[in-house]
Amino acid sequence: MTQRLKALLEEAERLRRGNSIGQVLSEAHRQECVGWLSAALNAVQLACPDPTNAYRKKAEQIASDWHGLMIPTRVGELAQIIKNLSADLQAGLLSAAGRARAETFADFLDHARAYLKEDRPQPAGVIAGVVFEDTIRTVSRKYNIAEKGRKLDDLVSDLAKVGTLSGAKAKRARAAAHVRTKATHAQWDEFDLSDVSATVDLTQELIDSELGT
């Protein structure tokens, strides 16, 4: 799918160029644009099977609008949609793998909640901390923030800068990062049940708001 979208974008660079007032260059050019719009819409629908998806709805609107001689403009508009969609696909946010990842995160959090009910903060903290870190790194990739080899606190600061995390949520995220560090280093006295519970809650919020489909 990523390769197909890339090919469509490359083709669009030529087709989106009209004459001095944006109109088609010839009848052959118009026909190519019509074919491209159909292929592009089909690709978007395959990538976004949910009919309520924002990318799909906008693509369908653009493709269904009357084109006339200004059809190169429509090609340019839909190409921009595909460009952004492709970035989300590469980040794993719209693919089946991305959905599975979010579901897996939620499953792990359920295990953490079960340990909390048993008053076992140690295993709950380890699970919640790891899922929190993976969630933060996945969300960072969504916003094109380099995360490889970087500390959690730095990623939290970057997400706060781009507005993904509010000031209050960033503070909660730093506390969750603390739980993650202490739990994975077996420093059990450095956190308790309430700390782990707060980590689970925040992680679930991020999954729902940023990774949900």
How many helices, marked H, and strands, marked E, lie in the chain? Answer: 9, 0
The pLDDT, as a whole number, for residue 113 is 93
User: For 105-142, how does the pLDDT look when each residue is reduced to its tens digit (9 = 90+)?
Assistant: 778 899 899 999 999 999 999 999 999 999 999 889 88
The pLDDT, as a whole number, for residue 23 is 93
Q: Give 103's pLDDT tier (boundaries 50, 70, 90).
A: low
- To which residue do tokens 């050019």 refer? 29
Residue spans of beta strands (DSSP E) within the chain: none
The pLDDT, as a whole number, for residue 92 is 62
Any idea where the domains of the chain sit in the sequence? 2-90, 96-211
User: For 18-72, how does the pLDDT look when each residue is reduced to its tens digit (9 = 90+)?
Assistant: 999 989 999 999 999 999 999 999 999 888 877 778 888 999 999 988 788 999 9
Residues 6+ apart with CB under 8 A from 33: 15, 24, 67, 71, 72, 74, 75
- Six-digit token pair at 167? 């000031």
Query: What rounded mean pLDDT belongs to the chain?
Result: 89
The pLDDT, as a whole number, for residue 213 is 47
**Is 96-211 assigned to CATH 3.40.50.300?**
no
Mean pLDDT, range 193-197, rounded to an integer = 95
Residue 138 sits at the vertex; the CA angle it makes with 202 and 44, to the nearest 5 degrees, is 115
